[in-house]
Amino acid sequence: MKFLSCPWLWMYFGALLMLLELLAPGFVIFFFGLSAATVGLCRFALGGSFDLTWQLAAFSAFSIVYLVFLRRWMKKVFSGSVETSRADFQNVNVGRIGRITTAVKPPLAGRVVVGDAEWNAVAEEPLAAGADVKVVAQDNLTLKVAAV
């Protein structure tokens, strides 16, 4: 029954706490699990001279040290960084040049290719298929175009 000895119980407890972190937000329980695993490793290394009083004291000390020094650093590692963009995705195609694929006959919409995508297109004047156009406005998936 070596797998039920004191060092193994600390290791199991540590692994359980680290897994419980997946269920709880905040990234705190993980460090208690890391502390328990560290106490288990110390118990393996020091043997019977590392009695229960020392184990509990070491668990408390490792928990504090890991929370204070490792938590901030590890949160940065696991959360990553977020880059903000000022791009206005509603008007991303405005100003681009495209080609009419299906004639635009106001008030009916036609189709236009801008870049590598084909869009619905509306215009104030009729535009024949094959005509080059400039995008002057965008309303969701419909582009307002004008002849170049």
Top-confidence residue, 128 or 140: 128
Q: How far is CA 109 from CA 27, 97, 113, 121, 125, in A?
A: 53, 18, 13, 5, 11
Per-residue pLDDT reduced to its tens digit, 44-62: 999 888 888 999 999 999 9
User: How much is the mean pLDDT over the chain?
Assistant: 88
What class is the 91-147 domain? mainly beta
What pTM does this model have?
0.50
Q: What confidence category does residue 71 fall into, taking pLDDT thresholds of 50, 70 and 90?
A: confident
Domain borders along the chain are 2-79, 91-147
Q: Could you tell me which residues are beta bridge partners of residue 132?
A: 99
Question: 32 pLDDT exceeds 60?
Answer: yes
- Report whether 118 contacts 111 (CB < 8 A): yes
129 vs 28: which has the higher pLDDT: 129
8 Å CB contact between 96 and 72: no
- The Cα angle at residue 129 between residues 124 and 130, in degrees rounded to 5: 110
